Amino acid sequence: MAPILYKVDASPPSNAIRILAEILGLELELRDLDFGTLEHKSTGHLKLNPMGTLPTLVDGDFVISESHATMKYLLSVYGGDKSEALYPSDVRTRALVDQAMFFNVGIFFIRLKVIVLPAIFGDLDGPTEKHRADIDEAYGVVEAYLADHAYIVTDHLTIADLSVGATTIAMQPLHKLDPARFPRTAAWMARLEQHPSVKKILIPGTKILGEIVNGAWQKNKKL
Ligand SMILES: N[C@@H](CCC(=O)N[C@@H](CS)C(=O)NCC(=O)O)C(=O)O
């Protein structure tokens, strides 16, 4: 039975998991929750994921949330011979993949979330100067990670690129990165955008996110 992924199309961490599944050739049963009516905070979903966030994965009798942990789980169970490239076993390389993923969980994605949720559920009518400065600072971290390699940690794609890449690409309709200031990040993003699964999943998801958030900003400006 295919693992079930609770998600919405506009969710960058959900999309990182879906891209990983495509790379692995793993079929997922996709189930949308209605974010607008807070279905992710419903009793039923909170039983699966007490954080009340998306994505949530149900694999038989096993339930896991938090996309970065979920990606590692999927690789352990379904990664096969693709695991080594996507999450290298060399201790230092793996530590650097983890470093970038923790940066994404703790810093980068939060800087997206604080301009998205208060727009949809509150009265935020656009990113403030502080929001923009914080996002630029995070772009600067990605730029530094890319100093020596074509991808975040090595010269090939790892799950760090999927997580950090999902946030970076999703951020573009909200606060575009300046390619003159972050040239390596712009080139890496262009490289990721050529990937068939990124084209199929993340680009349309990002368009939806951009429309939702820009629409909410416009609506809130009229309040
Ligand atoms: N670090 C978490 C972040 C999950 C997250 O915040 N997802 C968003 C949707 S993209 C969400 O569910 N937000 C609702 C909330 O935080 O209440 C992950 O990677 O899974």
pLDDT confidence bin for 220, thresholds 50/70/90: very high
- Reading the block at residue 117, the tokens are 């949720």
Q: Which domains does the chain show, CATH number per domain?
A: 4-81 (3.40.30.10), 85-221 (1.20.1050.10)
Q: If you average pLDDT over residues 50-73, what whole number do you get? A: 98
For the stretch 159-199, pLDDT in tens is: 999 999 999 999 999 999 999 999 999 999 999 999 999 99
pLDDT recorded at residue 116:
98
Q: Is 40 in the pocket of ligand 1 (CB under 6 A)?
A: yes
Torsional class of 57: left (φ above 0), alpha (ψ -120 to 50), beta (otherwise): beta
Nearest Cα to Cα of residue 207 among 170, 177, 163: 170
At 25, the amino acid letter reads G
Q: Determine if ligand 1 sits within 6 Å of the CB of residue 131.
A: no
Q: How confident is the model at residue 223 (pLDDT cuts 50, 70, 90)?
A: confident
Of 59, 3, 11, give the one whose Cα is nearest residue 30: 3
How is residue 84 written in tokens? 């080594």
pLDDT for residue 45 = 98
Strands 56-59 and 62-65, sheet pairing: antiparallel
Average pLDDT over residues 98-122: 98
The rounded Å distance from CA 67 to ligand 1 centre is 9
Q: Rounded to 10 degrees, what is the CA torsion of 65, 108, 88, 13?
A: 30
Q: Is the CB of 185 under 6 A from ligand 1?
A: no
Name the closest-CA residue to atom 6, ligand 1: 53
Mean pLDDT, range 126-153, rounded to an integer: 98
Give me the pLDDT at residue 9, please.
98
Collapsing DSSP states into helix, strand and coil, what is residue 220? helix
pLDDT for 82 equals 98
Mean pLDDT, rounded, of the chain: 98
Query: What does the pLDDT read at residue 12?
Result: 98
In the three-class reduction of DSSP (H, G, I as helix; E, B as strand; rest coil), residue 107 is classed as helix
Does 45 contact ligand 1 (Cβ within 6 A)? Answer: no
On whether the CB atoms of residues 30 and 185 are closer than 8 A, the answer is: no
Q: What pLDDT was estimated at residue 49?
A: 98
State yes or no: pLDDT of 144 exceeds 90: yes
| Tokens (6 digits) for 125 | 């009518």
Q: Up-side HSE of residue 7: CA atoms within 13 Å toward CB?
A: 25
Kindly state if the Cβ of 107 falls inside 6 Å of ligand 1. Answer: no
And the tokens for 203?
């680009």
